[in-house]
Structure 1
Amino acid sequence: MSAPTRRRRWLTLCAITATAGLVAIPASAAPGPHSGSPFGARTLARLAAERQQSVGTMSPKVKEDDGDDGNEADEIAEGADQYAEARTSPGIVAPGAYGAAWTSLSKLPRTGGSWRNITDLPYDSDDARYRDIDSNSSGGSGRVTGRMAAMAADDDGYVYAGSAGGGVWRSRSGGGHWQPISDRLPAQSTGALALDGGGRLWLGTGEATTNADAYLGSGVYLLSDPHHGTFSTRSRVGGDELESTTIHELRFGGGKVWAATSEGVWSHSTKKLSGAWKLEYAPNPDYLPGGPKADDPDAAYKNITNDIAIDPKNPSKVVLAVGWRSGDDYNGFYTKESKGAWTRISSGFGDLPTDADDVGSVTFARSADGSRYYAIDQSPEQLNTNPDSGLEGIYVSKSGSPSGPWTKIADYQGLAADGSALTSPGYMPGVQAWYNQFLTVDPADPEHVYAGLEEVYESKDGGTSWSAVGPYWNFGFSCWSIDPAKQTGDCNPTTHSDQHGVAIGSYHGKSFVYVGNDGGVYKRPVDGTQDSSGHATDWTSLNDGTIDTLQYYSVGIGKDLAHGGVSVTGGLQDNGQSILRSNDKVMGSNFGGDGGDTLTDPANGCNIAEEYVYLSIQVTQNCAVNGGSWITDASKATSYNVAPADNATSEARFIAPLAADAKNSSTWIAGGRHIWVQTHGYAIRSGDEWKSVYDLGAGRTATAVAASGGKVYAAWCGPCNNQGFARGISVGNADGTGWHDIALPATGANGTVPNRYLSGFAIDPKNADHVFLTVNGFSRQWTEGPGAGVGHVFESTNGGATWKDISKNFPDVPADSAVVTPNGGLAVATDLGVVYRAPGRTSWQRVGSLPAVAVLQLKLSPDGSTLYAATHGRGIYTIKVRDCD
C-alpha cells in the first residue's frame, strides 16, 4: 500500500457528535478505500471511528433496539461530553437562563478599553502557501467565514445573512461589504430569516440544526426598515413565549406569521405585534415549560417541529412537519380537520411518507405562482439503519397544495450519480440530512429548484434531473491537482460544504441565488453556467472579510520571527485552523477539517500543534508552509501526525484538551481517558512519543488540563451526559508520580465544586499550588439535576485539595476558560463575553462590550501585555491587559 494520504474532509462531525438522542450507526458504516476517494487508510479509519461516535443533540435517551445489530448503546459514553452537554449536564436547563445571564452581565460595571477584532479580514481556505497534505487548500471553497444558518434577499440588492453564533449581517451591494445589524440583541444565534410581503425582515433566534454548538434564542424580532435599521430588544414580537427555544422556519399566511420551534408551532398576527404568541400545536404539551413533565430528561425533544406549509390558494389549509430527527412516535405530518383539531396525516399523501419512522427533519418550499410545492424529508429509519444516507427523498406536489399528492423526484443514489463528490460507502448525499437542508424555487420558474444537503443541487425541470452545482469539494475529481499551476482552469471554485440557508434576490436587475453554509455565504446567477460534470462555473464567495462569524474553539499566539510582531492561530468549527502572520492582508488555513485545541510556541509562531478531533494532533515547525513540491505523499509533508493512543480508540472528547507546561513549552499535556505527556515539544514526530502518566478510568474522559513546573491538573467527566453525570479532578506530576483523585463532594453544596462540567484551569505563574477552576453550565436556579450546585469560578491555594467559591457577583452563565494576568488579575471567558476580577478585589467587571457571543478560550500574548479571546461566532478579539484594571 502506498503512503496514506492524510487530507481531511470538511464534513462537520461536530454536528453529528452532539448532546443527546443517540443515532444508530452500525459498524458497517465504515467507509472503505475505493478509486474515487481522496483519503488514504489512516483517514478512512478515522472517519469510521467518528461515525461510531455519532450521537444527537437534544436528549440523552438511547433509542430502544429495534432488532438491528444492537450496537446503539455502544455509542454513548466516551464521545458524549460534547459542546452542548457541557452546558446542560447534569439536568435540563430551564427556559430563560441565557436571557437572565445577559441581563446580569449587562449590569456589571465595565472595565476600560475596547476590544479589537483581528480576524476581520479575508480568510482563504485555498491559500496556496499552506497547500500541505493536512490542509484543505485546493478543495475549491475559497474565502470562508463561520456557519450561516439562514439567508434572505430582496430585489433591491439587499442581502441578509444569519449566522449560527455571530448575529445577522446586511449587504447593500448584492453581497459583500457586510455590516452587523443584531449586536444589541441578547441572542446572536440565528434560526430563521424571512422577508414578508411588505419588505419587513423577520428574525427567529435560536439555531435549529440540532447540532453540537447551537444556542437557544430569545424569540422573534421584526425590522420594519431592514435597508437602514438595526434590530433591538424593543422590536421583539409578542412576549417571552419563544424565549429559550430554537426556531427552524418562519412562514406567512392568513395574516399570521407561523413559527416552527423546538416547543411546537406558534402563530402571531403580522399586523398587531404586541400580545402573546398563540400555541397552534404541540404534540406532547405535558413536556412544555410549566407542564407536568417539563423536567423529564426527554422533554427537550418531545415537541420539535420543523416547518409549516400553507396553501397559497386557501391559507386555512396548513400542513405541519413535526418530529425529532432520530425518531419518535409523534413524528409525522399534521393538518387541521374541520372541527379544528390537529391530526396526523395517515394516507393520501402519495409518495411523501406518513409513517413516523420515515418523517424526520423536513423543509418545504413553494413556487411564487402557487403551482408547485416541494419538500425534503430526512428519515429517522434511514438515519438509524443506513450507513450511506439519512435522506428519504425530495418530493413535489404538482397540485400546488401541501396536501398533495406528492411525488418523489430525488433520492440519495440518484443525487450521488449526478456529479456529487460524496460517492463513498458511508458518505453519500444526505448523510447529514438532519443537519444540512435548504430548498427554494426560482420565482420566475416553478420547475427551477435549488436544494441543499451537504452539497448544492439544481434542477431545471421540476426534479426530473439534477446537477451537483456546488460539489462538496474538488479533491476527488479528475480536474483536481494540488499544484496551483495545474489547478487553474480545470476544477471550478465550489461552495463550502454543509448547506443551511438559501435565498434568491436581484442586484442591478440580475437574479442571484445566495447560499449559506458552514463556510459562510456564496452566490451565483440563478440561471448560471455548468461544466460537463454539472458543476457550476460561476460561484463567488461573499466572505470578503467584512463579515466575521468565525467559530473558534481555541487561539494560539507566538512571535513572528520572519516579519516581526506575532503570529496568531486558532482552531475553528469546520474551517480548519487559521493562521494570521503579522504582515498578512489575508489569513491562510494550514490545517483542515475541524480545528480543535491549539498550541503555539510563544517564542516562534511557526511552531504549531493543531488538534483535529479526538486528539488527532498534527505538528509543524514551519507554519505548514508548502515548499513548492506539491506532493500528496505524507512522508514528505511539512506536518506530522502525532496523535496519542486515545485517538485511535476514540477515548477522548470531540474537542479534547491540550496544553503546554507554563514553565516549559516542550512539555505537553493531552487528555482523553488517559493523561498523556510528551517532552519533545514541537520536535515530536510520532504518537509513540506520548507517555500515559495516569488512567482516569473506563468511561471517564478529560475535559480540561493544565500544567506549571511539572505539576498537572486534569478535570474529567464520566458519564458525561445528564443521566448519571459525574465529574472530578485528578492531580499529579508530569513525570508520572504523585497522581491521585481529589475528593469532591457529590452534591456540590455549601460552596463546594458543583456537579457540573469542569471546563478550565488557570494556574498562578508564581505558585503552582494556587489554581483557579471554571465551571460550565448553569446553577441549580436553572438546572435541577443532581448536585448542580452554584458558582462558576473556584480557587484553591493547596494544589486542589480544597476549593473556595469566588463567584460572588459573577453572572450565572457557563464559564469556559480563564487566565491569570501578569498583574495577578483573573480574566474568565463565558458564553456571553469576558469578565475580570482585578487583583485584590472580590467582585467582577465586564470586559469591554462584546456582543452576546460565546468566548471559549483566553490566551495571553508572549509578553503578557495583550489578552486574546477566541469567540465561537465573531472571530478573535484582543484587548490590552492594562485596560482591564
Structure 2
Amino acid sequence: MHAKLFRWSPLLLLIVFTSYACRTDPPKQSGAGKAMDYWSMLRSYPDGRIYSSHLSRAYEIWSGQIGLRNEPEWRSLGPKNVGGRTLCLAFHPTDKNIIYAGSASGGLWVSHTTGKGADAWQRLRTGFPVMAVSSIAVNPHRPDEIFIGTGEVYNYRAARPGVDDRFNRGSYGMGILRSSDGGRTWKPSLDWRNTELRGVWKIIFNPLRSSTLLAATTEGIFRSRDNGNSWQQISSRRMATDIEMHPVDTNVIYVSHGGYRSLETGVYRSMDGGQHFELLDQLPTSFTGKTAISLVPSEPDWVYLSIADDLKSIGLFRSIDRGQNWTLLNTNDVAQWQGWYAHDVAVDPKNPNRLIYVGIDAWRSNNGGHDLKQLSYWQHWQFGKTAVGSPEGPAQYVHADIHAVYYHPADANQVFVATDGGIFASTDGGTSWQSRNGGYQTQQFYADFASATRDSNLAVGGLQDNSTVIYDGEAAWSRRIGGDGMNAAIDPENHQLIYGSLQNLQVLRSIDRGKTFRRMVIGSSASEIRNFNSPFVLDPADPTRIYAGAQHLYISEDQGITWNVSTDQDGENSILRIAVAPSDAGLIYLSTNSVDGSQSPGVFKLSEGRASTWQRMQGLPEQICTDLVFHPNNEEEVYVLFGGYNNPHVFHSRDNGQSWQSIDNNLPDLPTHTLFIDPEHPQHLYVGNDMGVFFSENGGKYWQWISRELAEAVMVMDLSYSPSNRKLRVATHGLGAYELALDGIKITPSSDPGPILTLSPPFPNPTSGSFSIKWQSDEKGELTFQVIDVPGRILETHQISFQAGEKTEADFDLSARANGVYWIVVEDSARIRRWTFRVLKTK
C-alpha cells in the first residue's frame, strides 16, 4: 500500500463535499494579479527578468527553417463559443462592420461582421511572434494602414520575485508593428525585439495630420512624424498608460502615468505639442493604480478621467476647460480590486453628459457622471453549453474585468467593451448586451489539461478568468465550476468521474461526467502555503488514489473521501508539480517553489525503502521545475522541465535521478512547460514552451518546431494524449486547444536528423552591403548558400565545407546590389533555412 510510504500526521483529514455553484461573492484580492504573479514567477526566477529578446531571436532562427517535410496539420478544438482576455478594440473608419481586437496572448483578430455570427473572427498573422496586442490604431484617412502596440505590462519595475511586487507582466511584446495593406503583411515600426519585456499601451494618430503618431509606453512617450518610419522619445517618464490629443488644437496632449504601484504617477498635459509636459496637480498625483482618459467629441475642450488605486476606484473626474480646472463627479468604486488592471470611460459622441463607465461591471450616466446606473452584472454568466455565436447569459451579462469601452464611431447606439471574457456589445446604448465571441478562440489554458482514455470526444481544462470547460467533440464547450479554472483530470477507468479545480487547490469532483461538481476541502489550515495553480494528480496505477500538493503532500485512497498528509518535504516551499510512476511502485517525484520567491526551488523524490525521507535531486538548475514525466515503460527514466532563461530546460535521467543530462540541444532558450512521450514510440518526444511545440524523433538529440502552422508563437502549457484516436492535444495560453495526429508524423527523411547544426542569422541586418553567418556542427559537412531577390531569382550560390566542432563563419558582400529586400537560403542534407535581410546603403 502507498500509505506505508509516508509518515502521516496523527490527524486524519475528512473531506467535506459541498455542492458548488458559480462564485457570486467578490474576491478579497485581485485574481488577475495572482495570475500575473504566477505567469511571471515561472519565467523570471531567479533574477526577476523576462527576456523577451529570447523569443524574438528564437522565432527569427526557427522561422527560417522552411524545409519541413510533411508539415503536420493542426485541428482546432475550440472553444469557439467563449472568448479570452481582450485588451483593446479598434474600428474601421469607413466600413462600419469591420472591427479589430487585441487579445492578451493570442495576437490580433479581425471581424467583418462586428463580431456577429458563429464564425465572426479571424486571426491575422503578422509574421512575428506577437502575443499580447495592447493597442490598435487605424489611420482615419488610409484605413489599410494599421499600427498595433504589443506587450502587456502593468508595472515598469522589474522586481525580483518575492521582493516588492511581481504581477507586473502579462505577456510578451516587441514594440509597434505597421501594416500598409489592411493587415496582410507587417513590419516593425518601433522595434523592441531585442529588449526585455516592454509594453505599448496606446497609439493615436494626430487627428489633423495622420502622418504623425503618438505612443504611450512603459518607457515613456514616443512620437513619429513620418508615418511610423522612425520614432523619437519626447518624454522619459515611465509607465504611460493612456494618451489623447485635442481634436482641434493638436498642441494640447493629455497623458496618464501609473500602473500597479508604479513609482511615477499622475496626469500630465502638454500645451506645445509634446515639447513640455506639466503635472495637473488639481488631480490626485499619487495613486497606486492607473488612469484612463476620454475626450468628448461634441465638446473638444472637455476631458473625463477614471482614476484608481490598485484595489479601488478613486473617482470619475471632468474638466471643461482643457484641464485647467477639474471636478470630482463620482466616487463609486467601479474598478474595485482591479484598479491597476481594468477600468475605462467613454463618452457618447453626440451627448457630452452621457457616458459609459466600466470596471468590474458597466455603468451609465446621463448627467455627466453625477449619477450612475448599473448596466451589467458579471455574476449572471451562463454555465453549461451555449451555442457558438449566441448569448452567453441574459441581457445584463457582461464578463467581469472590462479593460476598454467604445462607442461605435458610426453609430452611437452601439457600445463595445473588451473584457477578460472577450468582446461584448450593446445596440441600445448599454441597456442590454450580447457577447460577440463566435470563433474568437483566444482562451488561456493552464496545466493540466485532461483527455479521456477511451472517448476522444471528452476532455477538460481550466481557463484563466473563464472557468473550467469541458469538450464533447463540438466547437462549443461547456462552462463549469467558475472563476479561474486550473488543473483537471478524468478517471481513466470511469469517465463519469471528472475532476476540476480553482486557484489555491480548490478541487472539485463530478460523478456525472461534468454535469455537477462538489467541492473537496483538502487540508485543515487556512494559513498553509499554496501555489496559485496547485497540483493534484490521479495515480496512473490506481485512479482511486489521488495526490494533491500544497505545503504538504496530501493523499486520498478513496477518490477524495478522506485524506492523509505527509511530512514536510521542503520547509516553507509549496508543491508545484507531482508525478507518480506508472506502476504501483511507490515512486513519486515532485517540484517545489517559494510562493514569495524567498527560498530556492527544488525537485524531490520519494521511493520505497525511504519511507519518510524526501530526497532532493542534485545536478539540476536552480530554476522552477515546470513538469515531471516518467518514461511509460521504464520507471528508471525520468524527465524534468524548467522555466526561466539562460539555462537548459529539459533534463533526462536514466538511473532514477542519480544523474541528469540536458537534452535541450537545439531547443530555443525559452521557458518550457510540458513534455509528452509517445507510448507507442518512446523515442518520440514533444515539448511545449513559450514559442510552441517542438518534436524529437530520437530522444532529444535533435528537435524540430512543428507548430508554425498553428501560430508564429504561442505559449503551450500542456500536452495531453487521447489514446482512442492517437491524437496529441495542445492546451495553449492564448489560442485555446488544438490537436495533432501522432501517426505518420515525419519531420526528416529518415530517423537520422543529420548533424546537430547551430546556425546564427545574418548579421548585421539591415546591412550596407556586407554581412556574415556563423555556424557550428557536431559532424563535418557542407552548406549551400543562395542569395535570392524578391521576384525569386537566384543571384548567388556558394558551397562551403566545414569540419566537426569547428566554428565557421562565411562573409558575403552585396555592396554591388541595389537597396532592397533579399533572401538568404541555407541548406544541408536535412534542413533548409531562410532569412529575410535588407540592403540599405547610405549615400
Corresponding residue of 2:759: none
Using the TM superposition, give the Cα deviation of residue 807 of structure 1 relative to its aligned residue in structure 2, in angstroms: 0.7
Alpha carbons 2:538, 2:547 under 8 Å: kept: yes
Larger mean CA deviation between 243-252 and 765-774 belongs to 243-252
Map of 1:216 onto structure 2:
172
- The question of whether the paired residues in 1 share the 8 Å contact of 2:152 and 2:172 is answered with yes
CA RMSD of aligned residues (A): 3.3
The structure 1 residue matched to 2:435, chosen from 541, 548, 557, is 541
Partner of 2:446: 553
1:642-721 equivalent positions in 2, closer than 5 A: 642-645=520-523, 648-681=526-559, 684-685=560-561, 689-708=562-581, 709=583, 710-718=586-594, 720-721=596-597
Alignment of 1:712-751 (within 5 A): 712-718=588-594, 720-721=596-597, 724=598, 726-733=600-607, 737=611, 739-744=613-618
Q: Show the 5 A alignment for 1:141-180.
A: 144-154=82-92, 156=95, 157-176=97-116, 177-180=120-123
C-alpha change, 1:272 and 1:171, in structure 2 (3 Å) is closer
1:368 aligns to 2:259 (yes or no): no
| Structure 2: gaps of 5 or more residues | 1-16, 156-166, 747-843
1:596 corresponds, among 480, 486, 490, to 486
On the 8 A contact 2:174/2:192 being kept in 1, the answer is no
- Aligned match of 1:397: 319
| Partner residue, 1:386 | none
Partner SS state of residue 77, structure 2 = coil
**Alpha-carbon distance, 1:5 to partner:** 7.0
Asked if 1 retains the 8 angstrom alpha-carbon contact of 2:35 and 2:464, the reply is no
Does the 8 Å CA contact 1:90/1:725 hold for their aligned counterparts? no
Q: C-alpha separation between the residues in 2 aligned to 1:481 and 1:572?
A: 14
Deviation at 1:231, TM superposition (A): 4.4
Deviation at 1:828, TM superposition (A): 0.7
- Contact residue 415 and residue 427 of structure 2 kept, 8 A: yes
Is the CA contact (8 Å cut-off) linking 2:727 and 2:742 kept in structure 1? yes
User: Partners in 1 of 2:243 and 2:554 — Cα distance?
Assistant: 50
* Residues 1:858 and 2:719 are matched in the alignment: yes
Q: Distance in 2 between matches of 1:338 and 1:549?
A: 41
**Residue in 1 aligned with 2:56?**
99
Which residue of 179, 184, 209 maps to 1:230? 184
1:560–1:712 Cα change, 3 Å: closer
Q: 1:621 aligns with which of 506, 511, 531?
A: 511
Report the CA distance between 1:502 and its aligned residue: 2.8
User: Which residue of 740, 751, 761 maps to 2:628?
Assistant: 761
* Contact in 2 for aligned 1:557/1:605 (Cα 8 Å): no
Letter in 1 for 2:129: P
Structure 1 residues 362 and 581: CA distance shift in structure 2, 3 A: same
C-alpha contact (below 8 Å) 2:639/2:652 kept by paired residues: yes
Q: Which residue of 1 aligns with 2:822?
A: none
* Aligned equivalent of 1:631: none
What's the CA shift for 1:164?
0.6
Other-structure match for 2:250: 315
- C-alpha contact (below 8 Å) 1:854/1:872 kept by paired residues: yes
**Structure 1 segment 335-734 matched on structure 2, within 5 A:** 335-336=269-270, 342=276, 345=279, 347=281, 349=282, 352-354=283-285, 356=286, 358=287, 360-369=289-298, 370-379=300-309, 383=310, 389-399=311-321, 401=322, 403-412=323-332, 429-474=335-380, 492-505=395-408, 511-528=413-430, 536=431, 538-544=432-438, 546-554=439-447, 556-559=449-452, 565-582=456-473, 584=474, 586-625=476-515, 638-645=516-523, 648-681=526-559, 684-685=560-561, 689-708=562-581, 709=583, 710-718=586-594, 720-721=596-597, 724=598, 726-733=600-607
Question: How many angstroms does 1:374 deviate by?
Answer: 1.1
Q: Deviations over 1:404-423 (max 9, x none)?
A: 3121222125x6xxxxxxxx
3-state SS of the aligned residue for 2:484?
coil
Contact 2:290 2:340 in 1 (8 A): yes
Question: How far apart, CA to CA, are the structure 2 residues paired with 1:368 and 1:868?
Answer: 48
Distance (Å, rounded) in 2 between the aligned partners of 1:120 and 1:695: 40
Distance in 2 between the 1:592 and 1:661 partners? 26
Q: What secondary structure does 1:214 align onto?
A: strand
How far apart, in 1, do the equivalents of 2:612 and 2:421 lie?
46
SS of aligned partner of 2:495: strand
Aligned length: 695
Relative contact order, higher structure (CA 8 A, sep 6+): 1
Q: Which has the higher strand share?
A: 2
Measured after TM superposition, the shift of residue 183 of structure 1 is 5.1
> Are residues 209 and 152 of structure 1, via their aligned partners in 2, closer, same or farther at CA, if it must alter by over 3 Å?
farther
Alpha-carbon distance between aligned partners in 1 of 2:330 and 2:243, rounded to the nearest angstrom: 21
In structure 2, the CA distance between the partners of 1:573 and 1:239, relative to structure 1 (3 Å rule), is closer
Deviation at 1:103, TM superposition (A): 2.2
Letter in 1 for 2:296: S
Whole-Å separation in 1 of the counterparts to 2:324 and 2:744: 63
CA distance 1:586–1:57, shift in 2 (3 Å): closer
Tell me by how many angstroms 1:840 deviates.
Answer: 5.0
Report if aligned partners of 2:580, 2:587 keep a CA contact under 8 Å in 1: yes
Shift of 1:114: 3.1
Measured at CA, do residues 558 and 55 of structure 1 come closer, stay the same or move farther in structure 2, by a change above 3 Å? closer
Amino-acid identity (%): 22
- Alpha-carbon distance between aligned partners in 2 of 1:879 and 1:699, rounded to the nearest angstrom: 40
1:588, distance to aligned residue in structure 2 (A) = 0.9
Contact (CA 8 Å) 2:554, 2:566: kept in 1 or not? Answer: yes
Taking a change above 3 Å as real, the CA distance of residues 115 and 702 of structure 1, as seen in their structure-2 partners, is: farther
- Residues 212 and 333 of structure 1: CA distance in aligned 2, closer, same or farther (over 3 Å): closer
Question: Structure 1 CA distance, aligned partners of 2:412 and 2:395?
Answer: 22
Distance in 1, Cα, partners of 2:274 & 2:367: 37
Deviation, structure 1 residue 267:
1.8
Q: After superposition, what is the alpha-carbon deviation per residue over 1:508-550, rounded to whole angstroms, capped at 9, x for unaligned?
A: x78411111011111112535xxxxxxx3x3121112x22111
Q: What letter corresponds to residue 172 of structure 1 in structure 2? A: H
CA 1:765–1:839: 2 relative to 1, 3 Å: same
For 1:688-728, what per-residue CA distance to the aligned partner results, in whole angstroms no more than 9, with x for missing partners? x222234133320112111113311101122653xx55121
* Structure 1 Cα separation of the partners of residues 338 and 610 of structure 2: 42
Q: Does structure 1 residue 326 correspond to structure 2 residue 281? A: no
Who is 2:763 aligned against? none
State how 1:253-332 maps to structure 2 within 5 Å. Answer: 253=206, 255-269=211-225, 271-275=226-230, 277-283=231-237, 303-328=238-263, 330-332=264-266
Aligned equivalents of 2:633, 2:125: Cα separation in 1: 42
CA distance in structure 2 between the aligned counterparts of 1:714 and 1:367, rounded to whole angstroms: 56
Moved more, 83-92 or 712-721: 712-721
Taking the aligned partners of 1:311 and 1:443, their CA distance within structure 2 comes to: 14
- Change in CA separation of 1:560 and 1:772 when aligned onto 2, cut-off 3 Å: closer
Aligned-pair CA distance for 1:453: 0.5
1:513·1:523 contact (CA, 8 Å) conserved in 2? yes
1:87 to 16, 36, 43: 43
CA deviations 1:255-305 (Å, max 9, x no partner) are 532222222222222x44323x2122223xxxxxxxxxxxxxxxxxxx322
Measure how far apart 1:870 and its partner are: 0.4
Which segments of 5 or more consecutive residues in structure 1 lack a partner in the other structure? 10-37, 59-79, 124-143, 284-302, 384-388, 416-428, 529-535, 626-637, 745-751, 780-789
Looking at structure 2, the residues matched to 57 and 820 of structure 1 have their Cα atoms a distance apart, in angstroms, of: 29
Task: For residue 57 of structure 1, report the CA deviation from its aligned partner.
Answer: 8.9
CA contact (8 A) 1:677 1:734 kept: no
Q: Describe how 1:866-877 pairs up with structure 2 within 5 A.
A: 866-877=727-738
